[in-house]
Amino acid sequence: MLDLLVPRYPDVMTVARRNERRWWILFMAVVALTGVVMLLLRRRIAPESVLAFLLFGGVLLATAIQPRFGLYAILGLTLFGDRSLHPWYPFTKNLSSLESIMYVSDSFSFSPQELTIVWTLVVWFVRAVAERRLRIHFGPLFWPAALFLIFNAIGLGYGLANGGNRVIALWEVRSIFYLPLMLLLASNLIETRAQLNTLFWVATVALFAKGMAGVWYVHDVLKWDLEGVERIAEHAMSIHFNFFFVLLIAAWLYYDTTARRFSMVLMAPFVLFSLVANFRRAGFLTLGMAIGLIVLLLYLEHRRLFYLIAPTGAIAVAAYLMIFWNNEGPLGILARAVRSVIGQASARDAASNIYRDLENINIMFTIRQAPLTGIGFGNKFYMIVPMPDISFFEWWEYITHNSIMWVWMKIGVIGFYALILLLALTMLYGARMVRLMPRGQLRVFALTATLYIFTHFVYAYVDMSWEGGSMVFVGTMMGVINAMPQIAASKPAPVRPWRVFQPPSDRS
């Protein structure tokens, strides 16, 4: 915790002047937004683009009023975005992207997502300084994240100094910068249990909306025909959905609110359908690992429930594998994922495995050429064995599926150990929070955040996972874990029970 300024306790007149100033700022912001909308309409920009700019302005305005709203908006709008399901979606795309409905100029290479992150940081800092209450909570996770970021910055400079492609280097590393920034924001802006509950609701609703979009895509574009479809959305969607199902299971195990438990049950079929339709084996396997860890936690905390659930679940899984072991349709996707792991992959999965094996050979060869410094961002990795042509992916010679060893390949062994340190401390501290948090909602949130980070980085060993959406999500969940002791120490909001009858003393 860093406390830079002495709190100032204002008198009534100071509070009145501050409120008046805020209302004038709000009025001027509304006038400015109105002027921007009128300008866009005069330029005959499409109505949907005008609406998008208006909503973005609303996000910035809400953030100016309360920085925490910016954090909610960043997480929710990021998780809903998907380049495959809705390529027009503007929040996560540069304002120079032609397909975005918020296209501004070819030279404006910043996204609304990045602008909102920076704006939220600026508003939070300026307001805290103005009110003399700047208290920065770094916690045990910020400095390892900052250290990892420093090595990535060094890798960027080293890669450019050795002839790396500047544009590709910046694209490789830019999303990694989101992680410590989101960690810092979540650690400091989420201060109470109610705020943490709101943050998880934002993530839940955004993932449900993405699940609905996946169902609509299968209905509207594929006409319910998944034959031969490799995926319906970005790879990262599957790993993001792990958060949803871990939260659903934890909410029932630890008796979270009735609203969360039953509403998520109603949402689950849509999210599950999109998860299956996206056909990501690593997503299924990491979700299975997360559920296995939850069962292990049951053994430590609730033996009776463990002996009820574990044998029943094992029998159900065994029965499913026996029935669908050779099924090549959508219902057999989970069985095919298990088959692939034990060496009996289908033709499609076998081809994918071979590509990753060849790629790993090239990764390890590249690491041996520069184990201390790495090759730096913007430089191609060496290919001593040829790989199948996937040039439809523009950066296939720069970014690999194995996102863990890719870090060593790019920034060297010390930067790689900085990543391992960050992950190890996150898992250790997350597990500690799970054990220390009281049973109920706080333990649900601690368990979900910790297991999501675990599944993400297990998934990262076999698939690309440093894109912007995942870094925003991972950074936010690290911030949640980082802030757990402060949140648990805060006083819960008072709950006023409904009184059907008046107390006897009040009766006439």
pLDDT band at residue 497 using 50, 70 and 90 as cut-offs: very low
Q: How far is CA 311 from CA 299, 317, 318, 502, in A?
A: 12, 10, 11, 50
Cα–Cα distance for residue pair 450/430, rounded to 1 Å: 5
The whole-number pLDDT of residue 355 equals: 85
DSSP per position, 255-275:
T--HHHHHHHHHHHHHHHHHH
The whole-number pLDDT of residue 33 equals: 62
Cα–Cα distance for residue pair 428/140, rounded to 1 Å: 11
Residue 42 has pLDDT above 80, yes or no: no
Which residue shows structure tokens 């339709």?
277
pLDDT band at residue 453 using 50, 70 and 90 as cut-offs: very high
Which range is least confidently modeled, 7-16, 31-40, 80-89, 263-272? 7-16
Decide if 57 contacts 35 (C-beta within 8 A): no
Buried b / exposed e along 227-264 (16+ C-beta atoms within 10 A):
eeeeebbbbbbbbbbbbbbbbbbbbebbebeeebeebb
Q: Work out the number of other CB atoms within 10 angstroms of the CB of residue 131.
A: 13
Helix (H) and strand (E) counts in the chain: 17, 2
Helix/strand/coil for 394: coil
Reduced 3-state DSSP string for 278-323? CCCHHHHHHHHHHHHHHHHHHHHHCHHHHHHHHHHHHHHHHHHHHH
> What tokens appear for 266 in the block?
């109603």
Kindly give, in sequence order, each residue whose CB lies less than 8 Å from that of residue 97, ignoring residues fewer than 6 positions away: 90, 103
Q: What angle do CA 412, 415, 416 make, to 5 degrees?
A: 80
> What tokens appear for 496 in the block?
């006023």
The whole-number pLDDT of residue 10 equals: 57
The whole-number pLDDT of residue 192 equals: 94
The amino acid that residue 285 corresponds to is L
191-243, pLDDT tens digit by residue? 999 999 999 999 999 999 999 999 999 999 888 887 777 788 888 899 999 99
pLDDT band at residue 181 using 50, 70 and 90 as cut-offs: very high
- Does the reported pTM lie above 0.75? yes
Cα–Cα distance for residue pair 465/267, rounded to 1 Å: 25
Cα–Cα distance for residue pair 79/241, rounded to 1 Å: 10
Decide if 478 contacts 145 (C-beta within 8 A): yes
DSSP per position, 470-503:
HHHHHHHHHHHHHHHHHHHHSPPPP-----SS--
Q: Work out the number of other CB atoms within 10 angstroms of the CB of residue 9.
A: 6
Which residue shows structure tokens 């909308």?
37
351-394, pLDDT tens digit by residue? 777 888 899 999 999 999 999 999 999 999 999 998 887 777 88
Cα–chain-centroid distance for residue 8?
A: 36
The whole-number pLDDT of residue 23 equals: 66
Cα–Cα distance for residue pair 206/360, rounded to 1 Å: 34
Decide if 345 contacts 357 (C-beta within 8 A): no
What is the number of alpha carbons within 13 Å of residue 400 lying toward its C-beta?
A: 30
pLDDT band at residue 507 using 50, 70 and 90 as cut-offs: very low
